[in-house]
Amino acid sequence: MNKTVTIVSCVIFAALLLGYNSRVFSVELFGLFKMNGSTAEDLKRIRDFNPDSDMFYLPDLGDKEFFESVDDLSICRRSEVREHLYTYLTSGREYVKKSIERSYYYMPVITAILKEHPDIPEEIALLPLLESGFNPEAVSRSKAVGLWQFLSGTSSRLGLRNDQWTDERRDIEKSTTAAIRHLRYLYKRFGSWDLALAAYNGGCGQVGRAMDRTGAKDFWSLREHGALSNETSQYVPRFAALVIIYRNRRLSGLSGELNIPRPAATENVQVNTPVTTGELCRICNVNMEVIRRYNPELKTGVIPSYSGTYTLRLPEESLKYWNEYF
């Protein structure tokens, strides 16, 4: 009996100590990214940082799966992740703040959809932070569109409509569902989430050819071989850095700088009669900005009636006006 109690006590103590060490490390980690001198000096300090001697505690990286290493911060053993943390918390700080603020409008929808797909890591909900800064109307230089930045060809294969009335690459629910389907396919093809993310950015062809050419089986080896484009080789460590920042907004000092919006609770309604967005604003007592924010897929001032109906997202407080009119 006493032996059992001793073993259990040791396990509990070890768990508590590990948790304590992790918190201490988190505090020290974000202290590393404060600007102390010139940019060049700071970057050298971050590159030269030795996780085993310069900090109180840092979990081993080992062969952990990508999201596990992000979760326990062991991925910060990689200098490229630390460098992106530094960049996002200094020169990229305003971009990160605006992106996090916009996320409050769309994260509830994205996380609700992800809960229906337990095989997809919950951190995937934060990929729009990297792709578009949570701006559903974002358009890249390569003409990728929406929160998830789909090119026309990819979105067409995933069943997203793009016509004179709507561009479903901007539709929060439909584009999120398409992104989950696409990422699931990439994961099944490459067998790891870091390779799936690299392929999401650079395409299956680039990642597959790089693996065939080098014989490497994981993202970090491909990166060391210089087998990927610069953008794709930076994509995974950049995403890791943004996930860490988002989860540690208080420790990074961002929480006190954020102007957090209060998004309205919304519901879907079925529009089965032709109506303009201007009429909708008048009927539902909302302004055009609200209609655009929650229905960014609309291209014109007319709500289409595909197959007789169109699904529109409205603030709950407007539903009583909607129901009275329709």
Single-letter residue type at 30: F
**Cβ–Cβ under 8 Å, residues 322 and 284:** yes
The whole-angstrom separation of Cα 127 and Cα 132 is 9
68 is catalytic: no
Q: Is 134 left (phi over 0), alpha (psi -120 to 50) or beta?
A: left
Which among 80, 131, 168, 297 is annotated as catalytic? 131
The whole-angstrom separation of Cα 136 and Cα 126 is 14
For the chain, the straight-line distance linking the first and the last C-alpha, in angstroms and rounded, comes to: 71
Q: Which residue has the tokens 């584009």?
A: 175
Using alpha carbons, list the distances in angstroms from residue 322 to 172, 202, 259, 263, 269: 22, 44, 31, 19, 9
Count of beta carbons in the 10 Å neighbourhood of residue 145? 24
Count of beta carbons in the 10 Å neighbourhood of residue 161? 16
The whole-angstrom separation of Cα 323 and Cα 316 is 11
Per-residue exposure over 209-245, b if at least 16 CB sit within 10 Å of its own CB, e if not: ebbeeeebebbbebbeeebbeeebbbbbbbbbbbbbb
Cα 161 to chain centroid, rounded: 23
Helices assigned H by DSSP within 32-78: 39-48, 66-71
Q: Which residue has the tokens 């996930």?
A: 243
The whole-angstrom separation of Cα 1 and Cα 136 is 60
Which residues are known to be catalytic? Answer: 131
